[in-house]
Each structure stands twice: as structure tokens, then as C-alpha cells.
Amino acid sequence: MTEVLAPWRPILSRALHRNRSLPNARYFQLATINRQGQPTNRTVVFRGFLDNSNQLQIITDSRSEKIHHIHHNSLSEICWYFPQNERAISH
Ligand SMILES: Cc1cc2nc3c(=O)[nH]c(=O)nc-3n(C[C@H](O)[C@H](O)[C@H](O)COP(=O)(O)O)c2cc1C
């Protein structure tokens, strides 16, 4: 089934393309919620979109804390910094 792309998806794809020469721009911060209801945050590497969908792929150990958190509470938030922004490219 083809997923409708989210409004942020082409923006993110463009940012990834603009920053393709910067390996560090593939890192993002993933915050999950632990069993005590507290946010926990860590850096992970973006491994592409799953089947050209809105879903971000990462590689991790299934025993890691983040996996336990997501099974318990699927809410999460990411934060991603791209040094090469739109303005820097167009000038
Ligand atoms: C630059 C950088 C990239 C990382 N990339 C990953 C990654 O792709 N997957 C991952 O599981 N951990 C990655 N880590 C380690 C995580 O930040 C984290 O320490 C680890 O996954 C354990 O997190 P957790 O116990 O909260 O699940 C990376 C760390 C750094 C500094």
C-alpha cells in the first residue's frame, strides 16, 4: 500500500540532499519516554526511509532501552540539525 507522504517529508528529503556531503548530518536525536514517564534522549544514525514512506529507519539492538520504551509508549520526538540550510545553498 502506498503511504501519503507527510508535509515534512519532502522538506526532510531536501535537507538530506543538501547536506549529503556531511556525514554528521545523518545523526539525529531520538527522545523516547521511559516507564517512569520521563524523557530520555540519544543520538542515532538515519538509515533511510522505509520503502519510500514517512518512516525513518535506524539500526539498533533490540535489547536497548529505547526499544523497551517504544514498546511501552510509542510517543517519541526527534531533533535534527542540518548545517547546510536553504539560504546557504541558494547564494
Ligand atoms: C554519533 C553517534 C551515533 C549513534 N548511532 C546509533 C545508532 O544508529 N543506533 C543506536 O542504537 N545507537 C547509536 N548510538 C548510541 C546511542 O546514542 C545510545 O547510546 C545507545 O543506542 C543506547 O541508547 P538507549 O540505551 O537509550 O537505547 C550513537 C551514538 C553516537 C554518539
User: pLDDT digit of tens for each residue in the chain (91 aa)?
Assistant: 577 999 999 999 999 999 999 999 999 999 999 999 999 999 999 999 999 899 999 999 999 999 999 999 999 999 999 999 876 544 4
Report how far apart, in Å, the C-alpha atoms of 82 and of each of 11, 27, 47, 56 are: 12, 10, 16, 16
Q: In what order do the strands lie in the sheet with 76-79?
A: 39-45, 27-33, 76-79
Q: Whose C-alpha lies nearest to ligand 1, atom 25?
A: 65
What is the whole-number distance in angstroms between the Cα of residue 31 and the centre of ligand 1? 11
* Ligand 1 atom 20, closest CA: 42
Q: What is the pLDDT of residue 72?
A: 97
Residue from 7, 21, 67, 74 nearest 42 by CA: 67
In this structure, the residue with its CA closest to atom 22 of ligand 1 is 64
Report how far ligand 1's centroid is from the alpha carbon of 1 (Å): 31
CATH topology of domain 8-79: Pnp Oxidase; Chain A (2.30.110)
